[in-house]
Amino acid sequence: MTDPEQTGEGQLVGVSVSDPDERDLTARGLAQFHVRHLFVELARHLLAGGYSLAYGVDFRQQGYTEAMLDLVRTYNRSERPDSERIRIYSAWPSWTDLTTRDRAEIRGIATLIQAEPPSGAPSELPLAVERTPGERLWAALAFTEMRRLMNRDVHARVVLGGRVFGQAGLFPGVVEEALLAIETGVPLFLLGGFGGAASAVARGLRGETPQELTLDFQLSHTDGYAELRTAAAEDSSVSSLEALNERLRNTEMGDLANGLTREENTTLMDSDDVDTLVSLVVRGLRRV
């Protein structure tokens, strides 16, 4: 009989997470450590259940990466090296800054996937603070390329928290990862009760136009957004906030393809109870 705790062998789960705005959490009676606690508990259960985890990272802002790597050391398996349990996806040009020592340290505990630069990109980009709007757009397109690569590899996507302004592109990265999952039918789990980008996507699916995903909000909260939008207008491959909101409004709960009922998905989007959320994600993964 199959061990119910070992149902995830061969399954790669993408995790989209970053700290939401502190004010959003405070309004919910939460703090950043609550988000991190949920992330650790979720990753712990998935690794213990045999799943592998995929995470897109900018090595200059590691965030949750170290916690994930610590967990895989705890749940290592003799038949599967640690490096097969975690895939770290890195966008160009971030991975070009990695030293030989950096790569050696990563190699023993994770598989590093380097996304190719977007087609037509320059050979290099200056430091972020020195980039023109056009160069900022290339950096944003590079992150999109990384997210598309990861989306093709994962069997499911879990979205938690996520900042809603100050991103490199026209809309937050966690939102983009959720949208890619929807567009390609990758099972999507939206943990919206902790605010941030996950909450914005959940509200969009319910027919709202989340304030965080409006032009006025981004213009007032993301530095250089107007110039970036102007640069992006010349590239027909770049989506817009307006198109994003329309896509969310036209998405049915069943399009999440995550094995959960409408009632279960509603709980997943609203609850801040860690045990409930972990249980629902594991339940949905087993069903799909």
C-alpha distances out from residue 82 to 52, 73, 283, Å: 10, 7, 25
Q: Which of 69-83, 86-100, 152-166, 204-218 has the lowest mean pLDDT?
A: 69-83
Q: What is the pLDDT of residue 2?
A: 38
Residues 22 and 33: their CA atoms lie apart, in Å, by 11
> What does the alpha-carbon distance between residue 98 and residue 95 come to, in Å, rounded to a whole number?
5
Half-sphere exposure of 229 (CA within 13 A, CB side): 14
CA-based angle 53:60:24, to the nearest 5?
A: 75
Angle, helices 133-153 vs 225-232, to 10°: value is: 70
What integer pLDDT is reported at residue 196 of this predicted model? 96
Instruction: Please report the beta strands in 146-257, taking only residues with DSSP state E, as ranges in sequence order.
Output: 156-161, 188-191
Other beta carbons less than 10 A from residue 188's beta carbon: 27
- pLDDT range class, residue 103, cuts 50, 70, 90: confident
**pLDDT tens digit sequence for 129-170:** 999 999 999 999 999 999 999 999 999 999 999 999 999 888
For 51, 116, 139, 231, the CA distances from 121, given in Å and listed in that order, are: 35, 10, 9, 14
Res 78: pLDDT = 53
Which architecture characterizes domain 12-287 according to CATH? 3-Layer(aba) Sandwich (3.40)
Residue matched to tokens 């398996």: 77
CA 25 to chain centre: 18
* Kind and range of the H or E run holding 64: none
Per-residue pLDDT of 218-270, as tens digits, reads 999 999 999 999 999 877 777 789 999 999 999 999 999 999 999 999 999 99
Residue 80 has pLDDT above 70, yes or no: no
CB 91 within 8 A of CB 115: yes
Cα distance between residue 174 and residue 52, in whole Å: 19
Contact 140, 228 (CB under 8 A): yes
pLDDT digits (tens, 9 = 90+) for 173-204: 999 999 999 999 999 999 999 999 999 999 99
pTM of the complete model? 0.91
CA distance from start to end of the chain: 19
Reported as a pLDDT band with limits 50, 70 and 90, residue 8 is confident
**Domain residue ranges in the chain:** 12-287
Per-residue model confidence (pLDDT) at position 257: 97
